[in-house]
Every structure is written in C-alpha cells, then in structure tokens.
Amino acid sequence: SRGTVERANVDHAQALPLFRRACESLERGLGHEHPHTLVALASLAECLEALEQVDAALPMRERALFAALRSDGIEHPRTLWSGMALARCVQRHAPTAAVLAVCERALPVLERGLGPEHPATLACTTRLAECLRGQDRAGDALPLMRRAVEAYEKALGRTHPTVVKCRSDLAG
C-alpha cells in the first residue's frame, strides 16, 4: 500500500524529535490516555524500534497497552493492537530483567484479550520463559515453554522454524 511505501522512506532519525514533540504536546493538551496521544506514542515507539532503540521503545509500548486497556477495555482493537506491538518489541529485546517484568505484567492481558494461542501471546510467553531461564528459574520457565511449543505445533506444524527453535530452547 502507499502508506507502507511512504513509511519505508521515512528518515527515522529526522522524524524522532518530531514524534517526541508531538507526544509531549498531545500529553499536555489531551492527557496521557487520550486516543490521539496513544497513537502518537505508538508512532514514537515504532520510530525508536526502526532506529534499533528497543530499550527506549519498550516502556512506551507497555504504557500504550495498559493505557488502552484502561480507556478502551480488553477487547478493543486499540488494546489488542497495542498488545501485539508490545509482543513484537519484546521479541526484539534481549531477555533482561526489565523484559521479564514487562512480560509478567503483559502476558495475562494478552491471554485474556488475544487468547493463549495467539502468536503475540506465544511470543510474549516464549520471551518470558527465556528471561526466567536466564535468571536461573528453569523450573518456572519449562511449563511456559512446553505450553508455547504445544500451541505453536498445533498452529504451525512440527517442522516450522519457530517450532523447531522452541523445541531446541526447551531441550537446551
């Protein structure tokens, strides 16, 4: 689509200060949870992700999810989209203590809103398991990985690369 092409041609480094100013202005004028503010926040997070600044984007994605949840409810498209965007961001982020905390807060929301077998929910589940394993909490990680492997297998088949990777992570 034309919008996708135009987005691909954006100079994210030049757009970043504009997105920051737009967010600040909307927050002052409309409030932190106004739909227009949340759209601007999502655009800022997307810009940061494009610039490989995932550390800065992650708290914005989490904030957008929980603001949409409070203002729109669990089944609203904005809430679901925010949850999927957060899951994508979490996947791109190294499995750190900060990501562990975000995943622990977001996973129940994703499970309720999208369902336990939705790809975004599974992405958050596997990243949470990786974070737990990285903190020597394999006992907590294994049930999550097993659940993700079973759901991925059901949806994608046993030979899909995602299933193979999850099986390898589970064994490793």
Calculate mean pLDDT across residues 146-151.
92
Q: CA-CA distance, 69 to 165, in Å (whole number)?
A: 32
CB-hemisphere CA count at 13 Å for 19?
A: 21
The b/e string for 107-132 (b: 16+ C-beta within 10 A; e otherwise) is bebbbebbeebbbbbbbbbbbbbbbb
Indicate the pLDDT class of residue 47, thresholds 50, 70 and 90.
very high
pLDDT of residue 78: 87
Helix 161-171 / helix 138-156 crossing angle, nearest 10 deg: 160
pLDDT of residue 63: 92
pTM score, two decimals? 0.79
Decide if pLDDT at 4 tops 80. Answer: no
The b/e string for 9-44 (b: 16+ C-beta within 10 A; e otherwise) is eeebeebbeebeebbeebeeeeeebeeebbebbbbb
Decide if pLDDT at 2 tops 70. Answer: no
pLDDT of residue 7: 54
Indicate the pLDDT class of residue 3, thresholds 50, 70 and 90.
very low
